Amino acid sequence: MPDHHRPPATVRDHTLRLLRELGLTTVFANPGSTEVPFLVDLPDDIDFVLGLHEGSVVGMATGWALARERPALVQLHTTAGLGNAVGALATARVNRAPLVVLVGQQDRRHLAHEPFLAGHLEGLAGDYPVAVHQPVRAQDVPGAVARAHHEAVQGRGPVLVVVCMDDWARPMDPDQPRAAPARVARPLHVAPDDAAATEIAAFLDGARSPALVVGAGADSAPAWRALTDLAERLRAPVFQESFGARAGFPQDHPLFAGHLPAERSRLRAALRGHDAVLVVGAPALRQYIYADGPLVDPGTRLAMVGDDDGEAHRGAADLAVIAPVAAFTAAVAALVDDRTNAPAPTRSGPAAGPDREVPAPPAEGEPLRPAHVLAALAARVGPDTAVVEETPSSRPRLHRLLPARAPLGFLSAAMGGLGFALPAATGLRMAAPTRPVVAVVGDGSALYQVQALWSAARYRVGVLFVVLSNGRYAVMDRLAEHGGGKAPWPDFPEVSLAALARGLGCPAVEVATHTELCRALDEATAGLAERETPLLLDVTVAPDPDFAP
């Protein structure tokens, strides 16, 4: 039974527990007032070593770390302490000594007024730290410390974590997802007998119902082959990360289970029943709309594999492996037990796989909707077509109706900022002049880099640009509606992408009906791989009625 009279665990409690797990139980310090809340009543199993100057503090920690061949823990006092330690931190970096350095900061509650002893700390040590973290919330401190430990090992140098003095007493949310992996493995050479590959294989073999999550970091032909082999041997469903900029698995494969939702409760529902989830080439697990609660249900364990250090260091996983994705996944696939005779996984929930049902053409007098356009396009393009997407309100429909069937078959902006698709599609076709390239873009998105059409026309780049024109920022309108508010921005139905394209030298066709759409697509997609001039289809659509952010 839970003890309802016990005060909730604090940021300090969680950080002390983490320091024990990481072996950081000796702290080298010359304390000041901003460090007192952490140091007072320090548990007996945490050893305190005093230095009479910060240079001595960091120097002792440097020698300790080099002798132990693992990170040492340092605590410094805001501006004065960090400033005094910079020379020693520079030495630690060049000596390749991994240090986790906690730097005190004034109370967060009046930091905006720059109280006495507040410091501008981020750039004070120059380029000598491997990284500097200033947690946005008090509850992010333990995750920042864990990340600093991984980065200090990887970067072989000091990593700073700036902690406001009042953060230590703040309560922790017990359901908050892990902000950094419990362990990070970095195999120097990927081989079938690699210890990390063996551990990941055991992680999957020990699961009753394993699942895979793939992302942009797995978008290559070797990675697709390795992941297909692994999924088929495990008989495991494969989910695409939410808001992935590229596809990490063939989305027409029977084991493809769809795109993960970008909201926490729906994410839990999608992965429910899977006791081991391996994330490959993707964050674990990035979301969009904030919601309380854990990322996955209790009993679901997460591991991740990727070649991006930063992505691994902030992953909510029990184990993160930093390794070449294709080679490491192939090694794991060779080690796992063969379950190919097991029943196929049952797919259900919000990411239950691609819906290939083609919508019926609109009835007489009904408007075209994005689904009609995407279905008509899907019926006319080949599996090697590269689809560059920038239509936020229609993206879920595009995923279902235009699955990526070859590496680089889907491309989108990883950061979510608009203005990507028109120039990116142009550059992609320049680099791959025999590959069919289609950009599917909202009219609002197209306006951010409409100038790219001039370059496509000038350099005879045969991209088909399909613009879904609804004369508004449809995704913003829907987000405002979901928030229960009224949007202050107006529509812009007078904007004509066809007119803008022609003014920039790019041929354009205006489309308003399903008949016109089919005719235009028939003409535009015939010989798309050989096309030498761009074409923009300005298709008037009404927003999809069932959009969900």
Q: Which residues contact 524 (CB under 8 A, 6 or more apart)?
A: 464, 535, 537
Which of these ranges, 37-41, 80-84, 175-179, 358-362, has the smallest mean pLDDT? 175-179
Q: For residue 506, which of 547, 546, 549, 446 has the smallest C-alpha distance?
A: 446
In this structure, the strands spanning 319-322 and 386-390 are unpaired
Confidence at 185, pLDDT banded by 50, 70, 90: confident
Angstrom distance (rounded) from CA 96 to CA 116: 34
Residues 415 and 447 in one domain: yes
Domain count, the chain: 3
Q: What is the pLDDT, as a whole number, of residue 414?
A: 86
Residues 211 and 263 in one domain: yes
Q: Is there a domain that residue 95 lies in?
A: yes
Is there a contact between 535 and 510 (Cβ–Cβ < 8 Å)? no
Torsion from C-alpha of 136, 139, 143, 145, nearest 10 degrees: 80
Report pLDDT digits (tens) over 95-114: 999 999 999 999 999 988 88
Angstrom distance (rounded) from CA 64 to CA 144: 22
Which of these ranges, 160-174, 245-259, 275-289, 346-360, has the smallest mean pLDDT? 346-360
Q: Is there a domain that residue 58 lies in?
A: yes
Q: Is there a domain that residue 411 lies in?
A: yes
Angstrom distance (rounded) from CA 466 to CA 438: 7
Is there a contact between 490 and 542 (Cβ–Cβ < 8 Å)? no
Burial of 307 (0-12, 13-18, 19+ CB in 10 A): middle
Residues 383 and 269 in one domain: no
Q: What is the pLDDT, as a whole number, of residue 108?
A: 94
Residues 321 and 398 in one domain: no
Report pLDDT digits (tens) over 124-172: 999 999 999 999 999 999 999 999 999 999 999 999 999 999 999 999 9
Mean confidence (pLDDT) of the chain = 91
Angstrom distance (rounded) from CA 398 to CA 393: 10
Q: Report the sign of the C-alpha dihedral through residues 479, 485, 489, 492, in that order.
A: positive
Angstrom distance (rounded) from CA 258 to CA 263: 15
Q: What are 215's two structure tokens?
A: 């992302």
Residues 86 and 197 in one domain: no
CA 161 to chain centre: 22
Residues 257 and 204 in one domain: yes
Residues 403 and 488 in one domain: yes
Domain final residue pick, 105, 138, 169: 169
Average pLDDT for residues 168-181, to the nearest whole number?
A: 85
Angstrom distance (rounded) from CA 149 to CA 139: 17
Domain final residue pick, 125, 141, 169: 169
Q: Which residues contact 215 (CB under 8 A, 6 or more apart)?
A: 240, 241, 244, 246, 248, 279, 280, 281, 282, 283
Q: What is the pLDDT, as a whole number, of residue 176?
A: 78
Q: What is the pLDDT, as a whole number, of residue 474?
A: 75
Name the pTM for this structure.
0.87
Residue 391: which domain range?
A: 370-540
Give the count of beta carbons closer than 10 Å to the beta carbon of residue 68: 12
3-state secondary structure (DSSP) of residue 72: strand
Residues 164 and 213 in one domain: no
More confident residue, 415 or 549: 415
Q: Is there a domain that residue 425 lies in?
A: yes
193: domain CATH number? 3.40.50.1220
Angstrom distance (rounded) from CA 437 to CA 464: 7
Does the N-terminal peptide bond of residue 285 adopt cis geometry, omega within 30 degrees of 0?
A: yes
Residue 302 in this model has a pLDDT that exceeds 70 = yes
Residue 4 in this model has a pLDDT that exceeds 60 = no
Burial of 447 (0-12, 13-18, 19+ CB in 10 A): middle
Rg (CA), the chain: 27
Domain final residue pick, 111, 145, 169: 169
110: domain CATH number? 3.40.50.970
Average pLDDT for residues 11-19, to the nearest whole number?
A: 96
Angstrom distance (rounded) from CA 41 to CA 236: 49
Burial of 382 (0-12, 13-18, 19+ CB in 10 A): exposed
Residues 315 and 389 in one domain: no
Q: Is there a domain that residue 409 lies in?
A: yes
Q: Please, how many CA atoms are within 13 Å of residue 419, restricted to the half-sphere of its CB? A: 4
Q: What is the pLDDT, as a whole number, of residue 1?
A: 45
Angstrom distance (rounded) from CA 450 to CA 441: 11
Residues 298 and 154 in one domain: no
Q: Is there a domain that residue 486 lies in?
A: yes
Q: What is the pLDDT, as a whole number, of residue 179?
A: 76
Rounded to a whole number, what is the distance in angstroms from the first to the last CA of the chain?
A: 39
Q: Is there a domain that residue 207 lies in?
A: yes
Q: Is there a domain that residue 526 lies in?
A: yes
Angstrom distance (rounded) from CA 523 to CA 519: 6
Residue 289 in this model has a pLDDT that exceeds 90 = no
Residues 138 and 190 in one domain: no
Average pLDDT for residues 395-419, to the nearest whole number?
A: 91
Report pLDDT digits (tens) over 488-519: 877 778 889 999 999 999 999 999 999 999 99
Q: What is the pLDDT, as a whole number, of residue 6?
A: 66
Residues 104 and 72 in one domain: yes
More confident residue, 190 or 123: 123
Q: How far is CA 530 from CA 433, 436, 462, 507, in A?
A: 8, 8, 8, 17
